[in-house]
Every structure is written in C-alpha cells, then in structure tokens.
Amino acid sequence: MKATRKFVAAALAVATMIGMAGCGGGETAQEENPTSIKIWHYEEDNGAQGKAWAKAMEIFEKETGVKVEFEKKSFEQIRQNASQILNSDEAPDVMEYNKGNATAGLLASQGLLSNLNDYVSKYNWDKKVSGSLADTGKYNEQGIMGSGDWYGITNYGEDIVMYYNKDMFDKYGIAIPTTMDELEDACRSSWTPA
C-alpha cells in the first residue's frame, strides 16, 4: 500500500477546510519534508466547489511552498475505482470522495483512508466543524457514518430552507415557528389522524 503524506494532507485541510481522504500507510521522508502532493477532485472549474478547490490549492502552495499536482477526475472514475486506487502506488494524497456508509465508510473500514484524529485534536477541527457536518467525516470500525474516528473533513455545508404559507398558519391559529421545537409542535398541533 502506498505510504501517504499525512502531514501535508492535514495541513491542506486545516488551511482550507476542504474535504480530504488519504490512503493508509507508513511514514517516509517525503511525508516529513514534502516537495509536492497529489490532489484529485471532480468539481467543475466554473462552479463554486471547483473555484474553492482552486483557491485552496493556490493558498496552500503560497503558504507552504509545496507544489500541488492536481488531476481532475470524474465523479464516476473516483466512485467506481476508489478502493483499487487507494490500495496502489498511484493513490493521491488528498481526494474528494462521497460521504456515506457505502462510500467513505466502506473505505475507512477497509483501512484505505488515513485516520485524522491527531490532526482534529491538534488543529481543533472539531470546534470548527461540528454537529451533522462533523458526522460526515467520522466512521466507526464497521464503516457507519456519524461516530468513531475522523477520516475526512467536509468541504461544504448545506443550507436548508423551508417555505410556509403565512395565511394558512393564521387561518388555523398556529404561531409561526422560529425554532425546531416550535416547528415540531406546530406540525403536531395541525395534524389530525384520519
């Protein structure tokens, strides 16, 4: 299995908070004093995620002096071949990969991703990425997402928006909820079993 440059991969994630996955392995001189790292992602250059990756790599090179060797791959290339790639000498140091039990969880349970617990503690990532966003980077021994060791850092957060009909709330005398508890109470008070 390829020896990874865990320090560099972790430094990139700290500097940019972008998603990452590195394959497991031992320590080498390249890990201690890297001159380059290999990164793969599948985001489009003109999209928000692609622009964020490009900026992160630019900042990383400028701040560390370590050259980024970037290769764009398709989502399907990475999804279909991740286990073989990460178990080879061709593995990238940092790779964007899909979250979930059947994807990153499976690779983590097979020992193909680097455990990032030490970096999470050292750089306080768990203070910067918490709650459900943190869950996407943690997997237990069985590869189940949400608890266990850290194997990745999310590169985005999702906004969820709920629209409602104010007239309908008024019609039924239900106060407009401003918290999740109030929303759940409003849903319970308006539901009548058949």
Q: What is the largest CA-CA distance in the chain?
A: 70
Residue 66 class from Cβ within 10 Å (0-12 exposed, 13-18 middle, 19+ buried)? Answer: middle
Give the domain ranges of the chain: 6-150, 161-194
Q: Which pLDDT score is estimated for 130? A: 86
Average pLDDT, the chain: 81
Q: Which pLDDT score is estimated for 123? A: 87
Q: What pLDDT, in 10s, does the model give residues 147-182? A: 999 999 887 666 677 888 999 889 888 889 998 899
| Cα 24 → chain centroid | 17
Q: Which fold has domain 6-150?
A: D-Maltodextrin-Binding Protein; domain 2 (3.40.190)
pTM above 0.75, yes or no: no
Q: Which pLDDT score is estimated for 167? A: 92
Q: Measured between alpha carbons, how far is 50 from 98 in angstroms, rounded to an integer?
A: 15
Q: Measured between alpha carbons, how far is 48 from 46 in angstroms, rounded to an integer?
A: 7
Q: What pLDDT, in 10s, does the model give residues 19-67? A: 333 433 344 444 677 899 999 999 999 998 899 899 999 999 999 999 9
The DSSP-derived string for 33-78 is S-SEEEEEE---TTSHHHHHHHHHHHHHHHHH-PEEEEEE--HHHH
Residue located via tokens 């239900």:
174
